Structure 1
Amino acid sequence: MIKPILPIAELLRPIFLFFVSALALLSGFRFLHFSLYSNRVSEAIGLGEFFILGLRADLMQVSYFIIIPFLAFPLFIPFMNRYRVQSLWYRAALLWFTLCFIILWFMEISTPAFLAQYDTRPNRLFFEYLEYPAEVFSTLWNGFKTWLMIGAASTLLTIYILKRIARIIAQRFQPEPMRRRYLLGVYPLLLVMVVLGIRSTLAHRPANPAFFAVTSDAMVNSLILNSTYTLEYALYNLKHESKANLIYGDMKTDEVLTTVKQNTHLKEYEFPYKDYPTVHFQPATRKREKPLNIVIILEESLGATFVESLGGVPVTPNLERLKSDGWWFERLYATGTRSVRGIEAVVSGFLPTRARSTVKLSNSQRQFFTLADVLSRQGYFTEFIYGGQAHFDNMANFFVGNGFQSIIDQDDYKTPNFTGSWGVSDEDLFNKLHQRLVVNTAKHPTFTLAFSSSNHEPFKFPDNTIKLHEEPKNTVNNAVKYADYALGEFFRKARQSNYWDNTLFLVVADHDTRVYGDDLIPVNKFHIPGLILGADLEPRTIKSTASQIDLAPTLLSLAGVSAYLPTVGQDLSRTDKAPGNRAMMQFGDNYGWLEGETLTVLRVNKPTEHYRYIPEVDKQEPIEDPLSPEQLKKIRAFAMLPSILYQSREYYVPKD
């Protein structure tokens, strides 16, 4: 019985070799990643469970690669007595598994740099940013040069070695006569084993990333998986973009809309448009003969961790001085962790989701609400000013399609004083902003969005502009200090300009420089500074919790603009209403709702978690479910709402 099986075993040798070598490769890299983050892993999970679950996840990925040639194998079985067919199968299998091994190697060797930057294994950002090779390569070269060189050299070496090994194995293959009935008997058994490897469980649903999310540290959960799988899963999830947040509850659309509209600051409004269910008329709290110009200065990666009065490093002295001249937000939180998420929240007032930002999604490239759209209808000239390339992250397309009449980017700076990896310096940006405001505000009311970029890795900025906070020069603290210097110089000129008395400014961060931590929602890394100043605005400190989505309705009201809006953020200028005292944050698959001291975290296919958040010491204490069914229903409704509005293309104010 053994002899007839031997030719079959020889024929299937590429599968067995790949199976063993791939598992060894992935396990070896998991040990490497564990060594880099051993403290966090050890605090979150037992080492035995960590590596066993990791092996289980690797079996899933390896089985996915094996199943493809396995499904093609029956096509060859009727002809396996022909030696040429056997050789064809053998060489095709060797080629396939060589390519698969190279993919596994490349993804794992790329992981340490990605972990250092994003605190997770490669995900959708890994392939999204491939659209911008110049910027990405510059960031990698300046921030991770050693690892980039190791990765490139080792990948080329791996390809060379695998090519040699595959050639040797192919040359040694000796086709032999075989009995197809034995082959037909072995094949189903092996196929069942591969399918079980893919499912990794006998339960009704196959395993997925949520199955391996066994700790409260998202980064550790990602280490249990392997990088090829996390990237594949991110690609797979693209088809669920429009319904990304519907997974947080099973409420019907009407129930979600009714629940949101009953929220304190919305329930008094009327919603006259059936096809645009959140659109309501917001009267301005400030009555003005002529509405103010509005300027939003979106600061790249300026988290509260860089603002001394918010508990951060003292590298923003100009912002600290300016805060006494306007409305200063002590507990303002970003909705997400990327620039496009900040743009989406600040400019559109849109709630965060697990999907890509609406700046990139197809259904929001036209007829999607922005401040530029509502203000252009009221006679404003609307403009976006950026120091880099406006096509990055699809910004230009989104802006042009949704109300911005002018786009200025790197190509429009004829003689910049300094150009870095991400565009011209913040000084160049603010000089251009000042020049444009002088010209534009003299002609018509103006809405301008200016987006800085100097505080972006690899942190390049002009020499001899600031006293360095630390050595070497190109560090995040020095870059933030330079960005703050440029901001201070702009406001020094703006105060002396003709546009100051009729212009309202918002200075706010898009997100913190890096969002990481061992909590399901690292709240402190979502904490950002925010300041509204200019014109006749009286100083005020807002101590209650606020979100980026509250800024758009508040700005319009302070500027004296009454308008129909689809936003569900709160107008914080209304003194007749208590502030909402809540913020929402999307961190990967976790949706956080911070209200008062209670942090509620909605998870995908996992129980809801509740914590008492103490911001003074950045501590989260687990608590028993303190929420009433009505409160939890409200949170789920707000989490589900953006997917409903995006999917139905209802986040827009129809034109009469």
Structure 2
Amino acid sequence: MTRVLQPIKRAGPYLPLLVFFVVTLLLLSASRLGLVLWQFDRVTAVADIGIILLQGVRADLIFIGLWLAIPLLLAPLLARQSSFKVWLKLNHLWLLLGLALVLLLEVSTPQFIMQYDVRPNRLYIEYLKYPKEVFGTLWQGYRGMLLGGVLALLVLLWLGNLALRRVLAHTQPFARYRSLLLSWPLLVFLTFAAIRSTTEHRPANPALFAITGDAMVNSLIINSPYSVLYAIYSLKHEARSSEIYGKLPQQEMLELALDWPWLKHLEFNDPQLPTLALRQPAMERAQPLNLVIILEESLGATFVKSLGGLPVTPELEQLKNDGWWFDNMYATGTRSVRGIEAVVAGFPPTPAQSVVKLSGAQQNFYTLASTLQQQGFHTSFVYGGEAHFDNMRGFFTGNGFSEVIDLPKMLKPEFVGSWGASDEDLFNAAAKHLAEMSAQQKPFFSLIFTSSNHEPFEFPDNKIALYDSEKATVNNAVKYADYALGKFIAQAKQQAYWHNTLFVIVADHDNRVYGNSLVPVHKFQIPALMLGADLKPKTISSLASQIDLAPTILSLIGISAQTPLLGRDFSRDAESPGRALLQFDQYFALLEQQSANEAAVTILKPDGSSVAARYLLDDKQLVLTDAAAKPAAQRRALAQVLLPSWLYREQRYRLVTE
């Protein structure tokens, strides 16, 4: 080590920073190269490896610059003779923390990519809030990988700490303070030039490195520490998150966002609540129907045979013949809270966190329960896990739900896994609750959220004929979830309330959203079914979004009310071409149906640019063009994503408060 350090002793107090710079650059580059080789076929299909590695170095310089900026700025104060021990201590702690961050995130990157098809991002941060659930999932489903990763991390950190101590032992202050003052401005300039990484008007950000049509490949270009730090930085811009795509004058935004055929008959008369309108039901009822929404965890079209998926949902396949079946329903995002936001609140997606978790939506934010509670309904949320997860309890109780029934309230569930009680236990609790409400002759709305189809895929033995030979797989978990759903609906059909209750079955999102396109549209398709009461079976083939469910539900159960909903009432028109809104990481896509099998797609990128594409509904194929979207199409898509951000920020997605 002494011989290695001898030629660079002239670095003086900057020696630890220089060594950190070199070592981190090598580590990040080596990690990127390994990831590229792992995904070799997918990478070479869309990009040149040399360009990816070269641009990756540029991204690495941004992170390294960010990390070294703090000690470098403090150098004139601490790297002098009188305070040199403090300087060494600061370097030891700060650089070791940086090394730990790099090693932790890069070691965990492959598993994250396997799950989410991108490098660690904001989801990584969000899951850190729930260590019990996350650790349980990792321990049950990825024990070997977890232990191996922790061991590798500890060994690398131990070696890194030893090396850092050796470097610090050979670090000396400059003989003359003037040398420090003369070299410092140049180093500061180079560091901040590396952070900015461009001479353009705006500094570099992750969007700058989106050079291919494959979001996963784009994420390989940057490094995981930079991706996570940028996600943390972006949290402070949540209220204006959609402006990463551009801006529109408020009036133009409202006009374009509300310019849909199914909204033409509505009257928007309140300038303070510009989406609030009186919606009349398609069917008048003497008494409104009860409502039960079953939100199925991760049950994408991937697992539904009639939607082109695997034959692991036979119960759902049977049930679809009993009600309204949506052939082309699309989720708005890839997280459960995004599905809740869309289904329960009818709220369109933004690049920010779901409103379920945002502070400004914890009270007086519109949900179906807001309307139904005003109509005298008892409103409840039934969940097999602990309802505090993802802030669901706080959001629901603050926005119209009067009762929460979760794992602590369930009496002796027969099977409890990492994410809570099994779906059978969940449905047993729900059935008991619905029977009690029915006996009280009080109208009810119950949201039932399943969890058995969640990694590590734990469910009771001897319930189903396994689809895969190994039990703990997603296909088997889906088949069990389907079995539990079918059992619950069969029992519900025998109850008195079946004939005056609308049941809605819909997924929150698919299990894993991945693909080699900028937005993997096919992984957003989900099943949706409405049945019960007097609903006559039919298939709805128009393109539909989760946000269309809420207005359709209110219409079918016979509710006349003012709501701020933006979706389409399919009980009034089930034939016209539809649209879907998709949020995938930092990309937003608007799908507008052109024919029975094709939708025009406008994809907004976080640098303000756009991409035009076509999506073939039957073939489930996104066809990108080399051209940007036409200005009118880009503005139309921009309005769809700016409006919900504006409504949240201005507190205007609500009912009239007295």
TM-score (ref. length: structure 2): 0.95
Q: CA deviation at 1:254?
A: 1.9
Q: Are the aligned partners of 2:610 and 2:628 in contact in 1 as well (CA < 8 Å)?
A: no
Match of 1:595 among 592, 596, 603: 592
> Which residue in the other structure is 1:268 paired with?
265
Q: Distance in 2 between matches of 1:7 and 1:407?
A: 65
Q: CA deviation at 1:164?
A: 2.5
1:185 to partner: Cα distance: 2.0
Q: Tell me whether 630-639 or 305-314 shows the greater mean CA deviation.
A: 630-639
Distance change (3 Å), C-alpha of 1:253 and 1:207: same
2:195 alignment partner in structure 1: 198
Letter in 2 for 1:513: N
CA distance in 2 between counterparts of 1:71 and 1:317 reads 64
Show structure 2 runs of 5+ residues with no match: 1-6, 594-598
The answer for the alignment partner of 1:116 in structure 2 is 114
Aligned partner of 1:376 in structure 2 is 373
Match of 1:521 in 2: 519
Question: In the alignment, which residue of structure 1 is the partner of 2:71?
Answer: 69
Indicate the residue corresponding to 1:13 in structure 2: 15
Q: Distance in 1 between matches of 2:566 and 2:8?
A: 69
Which residue of the partner structure matches residue 596 of structure 2?
none
Cα distance in 1 for partners of 2:130, 2:27 equals 30
Q: Which amino acid aligns with 1:303?
A: G
The yes-or-no answer on 1:308 pairing with 2:328 is no
Deviation at 1:264, TM superposition (A): 1.4
Question: Would you say 1:604 and 2:606 are equivalent positions?
Answer: yes
Equivalent residues of 2:346, 2:548 under 8 A apart: yes
Change (3 A) 1:635 1:167: closer
Residue 585 of structure 1 aligns to a residue whose secondary structure is strand
Matches within 5 A, 1:105-504: 105-173=103-171, 178-443=175-440, 444-504=442-502
Contact in 1 for aligned 2:9/2:171 (Cα 8 Å): no
The 2-side partners of 1:626 and 1:292 are apart by 47
Does structure 2 retain, via aligned residues, the 8 Å contact 1:91–1:170? Answer: no
**Structure 2: distance between partners of 1:7 and 1:626:** 52
Amino acid at match of 2:515: G
**Identity over aligned pairs, percent:** 49
Superposition deviation, residue 98 in structure 1: 2.0
Distance 2:206 2:165 in 1: 36
Distance 1:95 1:420 in 2: 39
The DSSP-based 3-state class of the residue aligned with 1:44 is coil
Amino acid at match of 2:45: E
> How far apart are residue 139 of structure 1 and its match?
1.3
Q: With structure 1 as the length reference, what TM-score do the two structures score? A: 0.95
Cα distance, 1:171 vs. partner? 3.5
Distance 1:469 1:165, change over 3 A: same
**Superimposed CA distance per residue, residues 120-139 of structure 1 (whole angstroms, 9 cap, x where no aligned partner):** 11111111111111110111
- Once the two structures are TM-superposed, the CA of residue 413 in structure 1 deviates from its matched residue by 1.2
Going from structure 1 to structure 2, the CA distance change for 1:76 and 1:483 (only over 3 Å counts) comes to closer
Pairing partner for 1:23 from 25, 30, 33:
25
2:623 is aligned with what amino acid? Answer: E
Q: Give the stretch that moved more between structures: 159-168 or 292-301.
A: 159-168
Q: Output the amino acid matched with 2:429.
A: K
Structure 1's unaligned 5+ residue stretches are none
Residue in structure 1 matched with residue 4 of structure 2 by the alignment? none
Which segment drifts farther, 423-432 or 621-630? 621-630
1:96 aligns with 2:66: no
Distance 1:480 1:126 in 2: 25
How far 1:86 moved relative to its partner? 3.1
Q: Secondary structure at the match of 1:384?
A: strand
Amino acid at match of 1:414: L
Secondary structure of the residue that 2:325 maps to in structure 1? strand
Q: Kindly provide the CA deviation profile for residues 514-533 of structure 1, in whole angstroms up to 9, marking residues without a partner as x.
A: 10111111111000000000
**Which contiguous aligned blocks of 4+ residues in structure 1 show a shift greater than 6 angstroms?**
624-628
Distance 1:633 1:56, change over 3 A: closer
Pick aligned residue for 1:508 from 493, 506, 509: 506
Is the contact made by 1:553 and 1:570 (CA closer than 8 Å) also made in structure 2?
A: yes
- Matched ranges for 1:644-655 at <5 A: 644-655=646-657
Write the deviation string for residues 256-294 of structure 1: whole angstroms up to 9, x where unpaired.
112233321112211232211100000001111111000
AA at the equivalent of 1:650? R
Point out the more displaced range, 104-113 or 366-375. Answer: 104-113
Aligned partners of 1:627, 1:263: CA distance in 2, in Å?
Answer: 19
| Letter paired with 2:258 | K
1:250 CA displacement: 2.3
| Residues in 1 aligned to 2:611 and 2:399: alpha-carbon distance in whole angstroms | 37
The answer to whether the 8 Å contact 1:210/1:604 transfers is: yes
Q: Supply the distance in 1 between the matched residues of 2:290 and 2:49 (Cα, whole angstroms).
A: 58
- Partner in structure 2 of residue 615 of structure 1: 617
Cα shift at 1:157: 1.8
Q: 1:247 to 1:13 in 2, by over 3 A?
A: closer
CA RMSD across the alignment: 1.8
Q: Residues of 2 paired with 1:608 and 1:102: CA distance?
A: 37
Give the whole-Å Cα distance in 1 for the aligned partners of 2:524 and 2:396.
25
The secondary structure found in structure 2 opposite 1:583 is strand
Contact kept? 1:570, 1:580, Cα under 8 Å: no
* Equivalent residues of 1:7, 1:178 under 8 A apart: no
Answer yes or no: is the 8 Å Cα contact 1:572–1:579 preserved in 2: no
Of 472-481 and 181-190, deviating more is 181-190
> Counterpart of 1:85?
83
User: How far apart are the structure 2 equivalents of 1:6 and 1:330?
Assistant: 67
C-alpha contact (below 8 Å) 2:325/2:529 kept by paired residues: yes
What is the distance in 1 between the residues matched to 2:363 and 2:635? 31
1:17–1:632 CA distance, 2 compared to 1 (3 A)? closer
Answer whether contact 2:13 2:172 (CA < 8 A) is retained: no
In structure 2, the CA distance between the partners of 1:344 and 1:173, relative to structure 1 (3 Å rule), is closer
